[in-house]
Each structure stands twice: as C-alpha cells, then as structure tokens.
Structure 1
Amino acid sequence: MSTKLAQLKEITDVVADTGDIQAIAKYRPLDATTNPSLLLKAAQLPQYQPLIEESVAWAKANASSSDKIVALATTKLAVAIGCEILKFVPGKVSTEVDARFSFDTAKTLIKARQIIALYEAEDITRERVLIKIAATWEGIRAAEILEAEGIRCNLTLLFSFCQAVACAEAGVFLISPFVGRILDWHKAKQPDADFTGSKDPGVVSVTAIYNYYKSHGYETIVMGASFRNTGEIEALAGCDRLTISPQLLEELESDTSTLSQMLSPETASSKLEKLSLSEAEFRLMLNDDAMATEKLAEGIRNFIADQVKLEEQLKPLCQ
C-alpha cells in the first residue's frame, strides 16, 4: 500500500507550507507558499545567511535612507528565498505583500509589482509566482487589478464565505481558507465539543466554499491551509490544493492506510444561489461573522509583528 501522502497527491495538488528548502526538496510538492512568519523562521537558519547578506548588499546599492534599505532588503530576501524554492518545485511559489498594506489597495499594488519585477530580474517569469494578499476588501480589489495584468494572486487569511465569494467574483487565481485557525476559535468557545473529522468547523467551511465554486463554475482554486492535524487534511482529500507543513507531510508519509477521496467536482453540490457582493454587503457579512472578523484581524496583526521582527533582525546589517 502506498503512503497517504502518495495517495493524496493522486487526487489533490500538494503544496509545502514552509520556507525550509530542505523540507521542500524532501517532499517534492507541486508548489510552496511562504508568509512573514515562515520567512522569519527561515532567516534563523544558517543556510540562509548568504541570501540575507546578498539581499542587504543589494538593498544598500538601490536605496538611499536606512529605513528604505531595510524595507527593500526584506522584500529582496523574500524573493531570494522564493527563487531558491523554485529550484525544487515544478510549479509556483507564493510571496506575501507586507501585511501593513492590507487596507491600502494602492500600496498593495506597488509592492506586488515590485515583487514581480524582482523575480523577473532573476529570470523567473510571473507565471511561476503567486502574490499573497490578505482577503480584505482592499486586498481583493488590488488582486482584481493584478489579475488583469497577468499577475496571479493567492488571497490569504480567508475565514468566511463572503471573502470567498468576493475573491471568486474578482477572478482571483487562488484562495487559501485557513482550516486550523477556524478550529482554534471554535475550540476556545466550546472546549468540550467534538470537532473531529467532518465536524471540524474549518473543514465544514472549506467544503462549503469548494462546493459553491464547483457548482457555479468558478475557476478560482481552493487551497486549504493552516492545518492542525492530518484528520483535517484527510477530510478535505480531493480539494483542488492543500498546503501542508513539513510535520504533517511527514505524518502522511509515514501512514500507509487507505485514504478516501472526500471532495470532487463531479459530486460537488451547493444549494446557494450565485452571489455578487457590493462593498457594503461584504463588510456587513464579514462583520456578522465574529470568528472571521476576529481571526482576520489577528492574522494581519501577527503577520505584521513577524514582518517587523524580520526587519529588526536585518536592521543592524543595513546600517
């Protein structure tokens, strides 16, 4: 019997949720996705020190003030790590826009275009890069513009159905609904409830989004993310893509029991009519979802905090 990871790869595109190149080389996923938290962890590893030094040297040569040097060095480092990752994956790498721009469409566009330009300067075509943007109203509007320019986007920190609807209507390439963080919120509210398997509220959320997309013919890819255990992954087997941490990839690789397909375009069914949300409707629906409102805000804060920590780590080198 093949491993559960091998079985999963037959029905779902597996993506590595890490900036650790060694883990990516080991598990050979289709794509890899990074974020400020993962880049901060990667920057602590000895093998990344040459990339840090090169990024800082490049930033010094291309920026005038110390603050601009630090900001440019962190962006260059994200791209440098992305270029290394692309040596080991046949598909795409996701690189995140500074989370401090989550409510600023114009600044998101500037940063996204800068990231793409840096990749293209390294002979990496835009087809191999996904720009990660928080799924705020402003972020979704930026993604809509970028998609029209041939810059594909990965809308992250997605916790609610209204975010998924708005992303699909905007023609976003891919969304990353966060399974585990949804579970975290519900477990904190109901610590004694049974949230295993298909009862997991994160699994329920992603399943509903997947079925809605397939039922209405949306091409936006659903990529479940932020898993807490392999049970969540197994309950979403068959989803377009799943981005999985090295620890959970290892658990799936070590398990040779049978994996059942839970989702497929052929069996997808949704009773919901096709929606098109105005800004006011989007904001009201998001506001009515306490879990999504809280987790989106928390996620943005945490990504900002790790972005600042990464900048503080590089700041002495940028003097």
Structure 2
Amino acid sequence: MNAALSQLEQLKKLTTVVADTGDFERMRAFAPQDATTNPSLILKAAQQPNYQSLVDSVKAAHPGLSATELVDYILVAFGLEILKIVPGRVSTEVDARLSFDTSGTIAKAKHIISLYESHGIDRQRILIKLAGTWEGIQAAKQLEAEGIHCNMTLLFSLVQTAACGAANAKLISPFVGRITDWYKNKLGSNWSDANHGGANDPGVSSVKRIFHYYKHFGIPTEIMGASFRNTSQILELAGCDLLTISPEILAELSTNSNAVSKKLDPANAAKALNDEKITPLKLDESSFRLQLNNDAMATEKLAEGIRNFCIDTEKLETLLTK
C-alpha cells in the first residue's frame, strides 16, 4: 500500500467509505460514496444556525402539517441535500417509535420513499433505516420484496444480523462502538486497551463474526460497520463491505499516512467459523427472541438505542413547533 496516501484514501481502496452525519456541509471534503443519517444526527444538524433556512423552508412549504408530520419532510430535505454531494445512496430512518409495529413501519417507509420520488429521486438511491427488532426485520422482508431497500440498524448480535440476511435486507449496520462501550462499563477497572483493544476489541470482534457468517453462507446483504469510537476500530475492519464514519474520525484518517492493511477477507470465512464453532442459526420468531433475550449486551443496547432515537425524534418535533 502506498504510504504517501492518507489512511482515508488507502481505506477507500479496500472498503466503501460512508459519511455518518446529517451535517452535509462537512462531508464534502471527504468525498464519501454514501451517507447515513439517524434522528440524533438530524436533530444535531437542524439546531445549527447554518441549517435554519432549510428547516424554515420546509415548515413554510407545509403550513398545515403537525410537528410529527413535518419530521419526515425534514429528514427527506436533509437527504435531498446529501444526495447532491454523494454519488451513491443516503439512509433515512423510520420513526423509532414504530420499532415494534411492522405495518406502521411499512407505511412510514413507503411515505418516505414517496417523498423522495416526488423530488425525482430514484428509490435505488435511498436506504430506509429500520431497527433490528423482529418487527423491523419482518417489515424489511416485505419492503425488499416491493423494491424498497433497507438498512438495518441498531444491530448488536449475530442472530439479529442473520435474521436480516434471511429477510433479504439490502444492507446491515452492525454497531461497534456501542458494543465496546457496554463491555468497558461492565469490566470497569478490569478493562485495558492492551487486552481489549485493537483486534480484540469486542465491537470489532462482533463485526468480524458477522462478516465471516455472511460470506461463508453466501448471504448477499451488504455489511456496513457503524458506530465507531476511534480509528483503530475502523482500521481493524478494513475490507468490510462498507464502513460509515463520522466527520471527526474521517478527518483523523485523512491526516494520517500510516499503512492500512486488509483485515477482512471472504476467503478466510470458513476457517474463522470453524474456529469459533459457529453453525447456521435458527431464525423463527421464538428462536430469534430467545437468542436475543439471552444476549444481555444486545438486549440492553437495542432497547437503549430505540429509547434514545425516540427521545431525539421528540426533541426534533419540539424544535419544529418553535
């Protein structure tokens, strides 16, 4: 690998780089292929003075809508601006309060797609983000069958991602940093970066396991590592299909020219699964719920993630009433 290139440019040769932000003005410098958003990122961006005119224009264009109804229009407005910058796709999230409502999720996803299409955007450029609950995964199965592609998020376990693959989801976003956060908190003073960082980082290990499972069993769903806390986690997953990265960490990668090597390779999947003694998982509803329930980390982080997205969606609604 050419050491003269920044780590970001080297990484782009191994992995599709995606910007994880609602602040589309900041992403231009990093030339990402795709971009992802979520309610928390959009709330953060919508509160910035430089985006006030965009928020005001959406409100002015739809004076009869409630704050709750306006949220989708705000999400799409940011998505439309992002699509002027990235050549690929943007991910837009369904209201997290529908995470346990399959029919409600499907209706909301179709509404978001219709808003994009009303602006002339091909649905192939949109990924609808859904939480990795049983209900969200079933919604994805139906949406994918109708040509609406989904990005499954808030994924913390192999069983969630295996079920997403079985539902033919277009893309999954297994979280890294939030998994590491949970183990750091659990281990407390027993945590050390020397023993639990780098290749041994629990969030990194989780995505590697998912990558090997998918590649060995021929699951075509794209894998996009997400929720990173540092550049080390990202570099340990070089070779993953996609990685979605915040502007802050993109900036770090763009100013460092140390060599980047490929860490994930489909050719190694079979041996890795054998070493870890992983076999195909049972994915009917009762088996899924039991396996998820028995994973304390995944259960807690999924619930926490949904709660926080709900809170930030309500904060965005409050912002829109002002």
Same fold (TM over 0.5): yes
Deviations for 1:198-226, whole angstroms, at most 9, x for unmatched residues? 11000010000000000010001110000
**Is 1:58 equivalent to 2:61 in the alignment?**
yes
Instruction: Output the amino acid matched with 1:8.
Output: L
Alignment correspondent of 1:45: 48
Distance 2:95 2:185 in 1: 29
Answer yes or no: is the 8 Å Cα contact 1:59–1:70 preserved in 2. no
SS in 2 for 1:90: coil
Q: 34, 39, 45: which is aligned to 2:37?
A: 34
Q: 269, 292, 304: which is aligned to 1:298?
A: 304
Alignment correspondent of 1:312: 318
SS in 1 for 2:62: helix
Answer yes or no: is the 8 Å Cα contact 1:18–1:38 preserved in 2. yes
Instruction: Output the amino acid matched with 1:282.
Output: F
Identity of aligned residues (%): 55
Structure 1 residue 21: Cα displacement: 1.1
Alignment correspondent of 2:291: 285
**Is 1:19 equivalent to 2:13 in the alignment?**
no
**Is 1:131 equivalent to 2:131 in the alignment?**
no
Structure 1 residue 303: Cα displacement: 0.3
Distance 2:67 2:47 in 1: 17
Alignment correspondent of 1:180: 177
Q: 88, 91, 109: which is aligned to 1:91?
A: 88
Q: What 5-or-longer segments of structure 1 have no aligned partner?
A: 64-68
Structure 1 residue 44: Cα displacement: 1.3
Distance 1:144 1:83 in 2: 25
Distance 1:85 1:140 in 2: 26
TM-score, normalised relative to structure 1:
0.95
Instruction: Output the amino acid matched with 1:159.
Output: F
Listed as ranges, the matches of 1:123-272 within 5 Å are 123-191=120-188, 192-193=190-191, 194-269=195-270, 270-271=273-274, 272=278
Instruction: Output the amino acid matched with 1:123.
Output: G
Distance 1:179 1:46 in 2: 31
TM-score, normalised relative to structure 2:
0.94
Structure 1 residue 276: Cα displacement: 4.0
Distance 1:195 1:273 in 2: 25
Alignment correspondent of 1:108: 105
Higher mean displacement: 44-53 or 220-229: 44-53
Deviations for 1:54-103, whole angstroms, at most 9, x for unmatched residues? 22123324x4xxxxx21121110100000000001010000000000000
> In angstroms, what is the RMSD of aligned CA positions?
1.0
Alignment correspondent of 1:275: 281
Answer yes or no: is the 8 Å Cα contact 2:156–2:179 preserved in 1. yes
Distance 2:300 2:280 in 1: 26
Deviations for 1:31-61, whole angstroms, at most 9, x for unmatched residues? 0000000000110122222221122123324
Deviations for 1:233-292, whole angstroms, at most 9, x for unmatched residues? 011010000000011101111110101110022222223333341100000000000000
Answer yes or no: is the 8 Å Cα contact 2:159–2:281 preserved in 1. no
Instruction: Output the amino acid matched with 1:114.
Output: H
